[in-house]
Structure 1
Amino acid sequence: MSTQGAVCYTFEAAVEMAVKMEDNGFRNYLRAMAKVKDRQAKMILKDAALDELEHKHQLEKALVEGALEGEESMNRPVPTMNLDYVLKAKELRADADAREALAYAIHLEKEAVEFYRKMAAGCTGAPMGSIFEKIGNDETRHLKDLEDLYEKYFMTEN
């Protein structure tokens, strides 16, 4: 394993932070699911929550194995549409529909991407900088999937 430096974290500490971030996202989706009434909105939130659980599981597995699985696929971020700049960030209400649920999920995923980017920048030059960068790159895949769904069903050109 890596040694802890003055500017960053051990592998275990870095992955534990990522696990906590994924768990927070999962909890946000659970709270939103309990709040909304619309069936499609619930399904979108449920799928996003299950994605968070899967990601958390992969990170916890990395703690056991001492390495991230599938790291080679995390070397580059996936380009996104940056819909978070167009969609208003707001708390979901009980009457939220599928469009609002997707916008909510897009903002949560964008927060995760930004968290990992900041952690990677804070660890530049340290061994864990690349770990945070890779996890952030993987989060861009989740964000792109949500944006693609939004584009498919709600963008006016379609």
Structure 2
Amino acid sequence: MFGIKLPGGAVDKAELQRQAVERAKAEWLKQLHEMVEADPETAERLNKALKDRCGKDKTLPYDFKKALLDKAREYERNANMRQCDRLLHEAARLAAEEHLTERAQKLGAGRRYFSKACTLGADEDFRHAAQRLMETIMLTGGVHKDGPSRAKPADFAPKTPNRAKG
């Protein structure tokens, strides 16, 4: 094949094996690169596929596989953090517009992605920011009532006449 030919026409098996490993590394890195901007479901699927392949492939070095899986986990965590942030900001906008049922749906979905990101090792800054945003969303909306209420009854008193001298 593409191996080095030794005197007498023999092919260096070590060189062939090294080339096969390099091709496999390039293929793995290509699959890892697909995870960079993937949505959380795709990132999770690709991460699981990489884990399964790493378990089966015995030719690649351990350090390469460990670094690859760490990077895949980081990309999956980032995808979940992005989705959580997007959903929480949508929920905040809906809360400000008094759409409480849609707010609750977005908030629930955001919490799911938040918990997945935390499981994958999200940093403390993200955790605190997301928790503060969730608390703010829960306290926003549903407070303003149109019309009279018990706290602000309707004003039934007659208007005072304008007695200014003119």
- Structure 1 and Structure 2 fold alike (TM over 0.5): no
Q: Which has the higher contact order (CA 8 A, sep 6+)?
A: 1
TM-score, structure 2 normalization: 0.33
